[in-house]
Amino acid sequence: MTQAIMLQGTASDVGKSVLVAGLCRIFYQDGRRTAPFKSQNMALNSGITPDGKEMGRAQIFQAEAAGIVPDVRMNPVLLKPTSDRKAQIVLMGQVATDMDAVSYHAYKPQLREQILSVYKSLAQEFEVLVLEGAGSPAEINLRDRDIVNMGMAEMAQCPVILVADIDRGGVFASIYGTLALLHEHERARVKGVIINKFRGDVALLYSGIEQIENLTGVPVLGVMPWLDIDLEDEDGVALQKGKYLRTGKRDINIAVVQVPHISNFTDFNALAAQPDVRVCYVRQPEELSGVDLVILPGSKNTLGDLVWLRESGMAHAVMQAHRQHVPVVGICGGYQMLGETLIDDVESGLGTLPGLGLLPTTTQFAQHKTTTLVDGTMSPVLPGWLSAASGLAVRGYEIHMGETTLQDYCQPVVQLNKNGHYVADGAVTADGLAFGTYLHGLFDSDDFTRALVNGLRQRKGLSPLDPTFHYAQYKSQQFDLLADAMRKHIDIEKIYTIMQQHQESV
């Protein structure tokens, strides 16, 4: 019978996703066939499974930590906000509809049986399942239709560990308050607490830990320190807190424009991991001063974010940087924004708007959503600073609802292999100072990224660096560092005991 454990939080962004990944890595290291599971994920960071299904990036990197291939069953419901009140609903990897929050709350009970069925199918294939909640189980206004916190724990009949973030302050109040707002049968599921993101001498916490254990009857299983480990974040909350503002001197400075509906900002983790690169996420025009490359990222509301670029002055700043011969790159929605015309009566409903005009392209949005993993080859002859990337192999994934056409004289930037047929993708200007592509994950291709960064180095009169950095190995090392830290600071044997005892009791 499958063992299971669920991590729930006292709030959003307390570090549940990372700790789930760490447990997945530990169980994998211990020889257990393990999978992550999050019934409902609200995030604009998503990825594609080998069979072309869309799921949250957090569950993809958790699957990587577990040493398995991502499977859409690990995240059956994905909510992708398109505005403050509406979200695209992705069910089992495919777009179902758009809903506002009230409509979706009413709709959730219809998903329970499907979610439970998916969970059971995973349980038949894995020895251990590590579940993740969303937000807090103490959101009492949502309790009656919950499918992701205690509602999911009850469906899975699994024990719960509560994660609390001490870095935001009030950690003991958040632990006590969360447990106090749970029903008695829900509190009975909570078998332990992990205090996360601690900075300082843990001895200062001992008296508080003793009191909170006496008050709640729930043991604290460990205190995780603030870790300087490079792992993916679930969504843009990390950007709002400035987590991705890279400090320190680097040879190459890259600015990613932080549009309001930024999606898949994990595209740039591989760039930021390069030893000579500093990546900053910027929202103010003056922040583009002195950068070596400007990137327009993906967006879940491309035309809405294009309007924001103009109203905020960022569009003018991007164009000014380009006139000063700073290269500009667009990924997915950013690629669309670099074109001449965008026509959207589907995603934003804003109709036809002019793009930034750096690429001679037109994008027409459609109801169909392209979701696929792809391999490709960069164009055989790329201009200017991109020349060293000519003909290099790349791979990544597509997630977009628009189709972009190029004018006859425009050169595509990459040839993608789609089921044995090579299809041109993206566009690049004759001088190489602007290019765009639909290919998410492009920078995970080590040789391409090193060639691109070395091209930027050459523009500054710097010598190239050897292509010795391998991003996949780097990520694996980060998972191992996380697992080592969790073994040191959390009672993992107690977690094994909790899972074993609960398995025997159900």
Residue percentage of the chain with pLDDT more than 90: 83
| Residue in the structure block whose two tokens are 């709350």 | 105
User: Given a cut of 90, is residue 54 above it in pLDDT?
Assistant: yes
Residue type at 214 in one-letter notation: N
Q: Chain-wide mean pLDDT for the chain?
A: 93
pLDDT tens, residue by residue, 131-141: 999 999 999 98
Answer yes or no: pTM beyond 0.85: yes
pLDDT at residue 85, rounded to an integer: 82
Residues 107/99, Cβ–Cβ less than 8 Å: yes
Cα(234)–Cα(431) distance, integer angstroms: 36
Q: Judging by DSSP bridges, how do beta strands 361-378 and 414-418 pair with one another?
A: antiparallel
List the structure tokens of 465.
Answer: 């660096």
State the alpha helices, DSSP H only, in 1-145: 16-29, 57-65, 101-107, 112-123
Cα(231)–Cα(410) distance, integer angstroms: 37
User: Given a cut of 90, is residue 380 above it in pLDDT?
Assistant: yes
pLDDT tens, residue by residue, 116-134: 999 999 999 999 999 999 9
Instruction: List residues with catalytic annotation.
Output: 332, 440
Query: Residue 48: left (phi > 0), alpha (psi -120 to 50), or beta?
Result: beta
- 436 membership: H or E segment, kind and range: strand 434-437
Residues 491/221, Cβ–Cβ less than 8 Å: yes
Cα(430)–Cα(435) distance, integer angstroms: 10
pLDDT tens, residue by residue, 86-120: 899 999 999 999 899 899 989 999 999 999 999 99
Structural domains in the chain, sorted by start: 3-231+476-499 (3.40.50.300), 252-461 (3.40.50.880)
Residues 95/89, Cβ–Cβ less than 8 Å: yes
The candidate with the shortest Cα–Cα distance to 288, out of 262, 248, 258, is 258
Q: Order the strands of the 77-81 sheet from edge to edge.
A: 40-42, 77-81, 86-91, 94-100
User: Given a cut of 70, is residue 237 above it in pLDDT?
Assistant: no
Q: What is the mean pLDDT of residues 202-212?
A: 95
Q: What is the mean pLDDT of residues 162-181?
A: 96
List the structure tokens of 108.
Answer: 């959730």
pLDDT tens, residue by residue, 280-297: 999 999 999 999 999 999
pLDDT at residue 160, rounded to an integer: 98
pLDDT at residue 241, rounded to an integer: 47
Cα(400)–Cα(347) distance, integer angstroms: 11
Helix (H, G, I), strand (E, B) or coil at 96: strand
CA 196 to chain centre: 20
